[in-house]
Structure 1
């Protein structure tokens, strides 16, 4: 909840910077001039474009990093509790998910997995390719995600009026570039939280069922009593 609140409120930091800049313009450049116009142009590029982009990307990174850490802890706890000799391949979050899968947890069949997986691909492209699709190994999949708005649940696609602005492909001097809004980062944070909670519930259910005593022949089970 704290992270969701943080992601939701971070744009207010930029709003505050805009108010400060407005006061500075009035104090430093009270009359129209080339210098004033230059200052407005530079600050507008920062406050209206660069800062919101960096903010949205940073928030997405934080949310998915926490998902990775918590899923790692969940996988370790599940392993300790199950006492099963499980060895999983992969790195980072994928290794933790593979571990849970070997313990019988349906990690890729959770309701929000398509959206979490889309967020992971978006993060990977931003982190390793600066959002440039030509440099991303998932370029085709990302274009499909943007085109179909698969980064949102079906219900959200229908209810959100400006979903096409959440994740977009823009043209840059280096080629097509993926850009995200802070609104998307906020929704992706909620998806990551709810996906993790669903994993916790399934892990708890499966581990609890493994601890139930097995009835002997001729004895009725009292598990449902």
Structure 2
């Protein structure tokens, strides 16, 4: 199983949010420095989110993210504020391994097919952000139907992988909810990366045993509650 340290960027700084709320941001300094910190500790992939993009300013942090992609040279999945075909094309052109489509995938599902046809399914990851079993969009402020039904639709349309984020536990550092993860994995045939609540070695073990392709480490990693080396060891 893969381990993806998160590098979430807001206002040019690496931050972590609680429950996706902007006002809850805790800053951890320069995103490039954070990226290299995790790479030096053994990470071979990163989960990068342009939070300014998610909050409506898609162009913000663009140069910084391009530099990060070029400077690190490792596998990167990128999300946040990708609201059009043009946005997707531009980000894929920077060399990121795959882009994460969340709100756009719900509002214009056929865009998944279009992007997958142009760049390949393996470069298209559909975001399944779920709260109470329903997909959450627009900064997790609205819901739009059952998360498993949407995941199956995304797969049928050509998404090569899924990012499942359990909004109910995201950022709380209190552990994962494994049942909805298992339910999702049982209904699809593409790799599933899981975010939200991964707070200890036991959570990584649960995800590995459930058949998850990857785990995103965010708030618990930055706070020191989970150790990257231990997570990497448990993922094997």
TM-score in terms of structure 1 length: 0.26
* Greater helix proportion: 1
Larger RCO, structures 1/2 (Cα 8 Å, 6+ apart): 1
Q: Which structure: larger Rg? A: 1
* Greater strand proportion: 2
